[in-house]
Homo-oligomer: A and B are copies of this chain.
Amino acid sequence: MSTQVNESQVPTGSDDLDTETRIFEAALKVFARKGKDGARLQEIADEAGIHRPLLHYYFRTKQQLYEAVAERLFTDFLLSFDAPAEGGRFADTLKAFIDHYIDSVREHRHAAMWMVTENMAGSPILGEMLARAFATEGSPQRAMVEAVELAVESGEIRPVDARQLMLTVVSACVFPFVTLPTVKMMNPLAAEDFDAYLEERKAHLFEVVCHGLASREVSDA
């Protein structure tokens, strides 16, 4: 860990938000990057541009800071979903889902990293949250699964397991953010103009998932 890509080495502290908010955002970043045990309060304080005892003044303990950030994170995450538009062609629903998901992860990249870190540490929290969402009548998550199943039944799309499909699309949307330094090193466009790269990625992903690679002339079972 001696050499590091300088990821926004400008500390969050330069924004002129109030102290509590700055701590909050700094904690989000550091916990996301390093996990709960890997994060140091000093590192969070530096990132926020404040003195360490202030962390305790505002959030008492590391544990409580962690929980406070986690709670807002999870709410935001679930709320960041749109319900798929009813009725339209499935291709449009899919396009909207991909575009929105990638935008959402761009905005909440550290939230995504946080969830990944939690998962790698073995925490069931994301699973519980999603299971609850999928079980909730009318939740955007469940609606998306139902949209897929409906499209399969109506023959609009080829038969496919809805959960496998969701996992595939979500993987393809989230993973590049989780491996951001690598992506930026492998793709010049990603390094120069990341937003443009993401637009390209949205288009690519939709193309592949919707139409596949096989050219139309080639027929197959």
- Is there contact, CB below 8 Å, between B213 and A180? no
A157 contacts across to B, CB distance below 8 A: 213-215
Residues of A6-53 contacting chain B, CB below 8 A: 6-7, 32-40
List residues of A whose CB falls within 8 A of some B CB.
1, 3-7, 32-40, 90-91, 94, 113, 115-124, 126-128, 130-131, 134, 151, 155-158, 160-161, 163-165, 167-168, 170-172, 174-176, 178-187, 200-201, 204-205, 207-220
From known contacts A33-B122, A201-B164, infer whether A182 and B127 are also in contact, taking CB-CB under 8 Å.
Answer: yes
Which residue of chain B has its CB nearest to the CB of A94? B213
From known contacts A131-B185, A212-B214, infer whether A119 and B178 are also in contact, taking CB-CB under 8 Å.
Answer: yes
A215 contacts across to B, CB distance below 8 A: 155-158
- Is there contact, CB below 8 Å, between B1 and A208? no
A122 contacts across to B, CB distance below 8 A: 4-7, 33, 181
A3 contacts across to B, CB distance below 8 A: 123-124
Work out how many copies of this chain go into the complex.
2
- Is there contact, CB below 8 Å, between B121 and A165? no
A213 contacts across to B, CB distance below 8 A: 90, 94, 151, 157-158, 160, 165, 209-210, 212
A1 contacts across to B, CB distance below 8 A: 36-37, 118, 121, 123
Q: Give Cα A178–Cα B112 distance, bound, in whole angstroms.
A: 12
In the complex, which of the residues A165, A183, A211 has the most CB atoms of chain B within 10 Å of its own CB atom? A211
Q: Give Cα A220–Cα B91 distance, bound, in whole angstroms.
A: 11
- Is there contact, CB below 8 Å, between A212 and B204? no
Question: A151 → chain B, closest Cβ, in Å?
Answer: 8
Which residue of chain B has its CB nearest to the CB of A3? B124
- Is there contact, CB below 8 Å, between B208 and A160? yes
A204 contacts across to B, CB distance below 8 A: 160-161, 164-165, 168
Which residue of chain B has its CB nearest to the CB of A35? B38
A201 contacts across to B, CB distance below 8 A: 164, 167
Q: Give Cα A210–Cα B208 distance, bound, in whole angstroms.
A: 8
Q: Give Cα A209–Cα B112 distance, bound, in whole angstroms.
A: 24
- Is there contact, CB below 8 Å, between B131 and A186? yes
From known contacts A38-B37, A156-B218, infer whether A130 and B212 are also in contact, taking CB-CB under 8 Å.
Answer: no
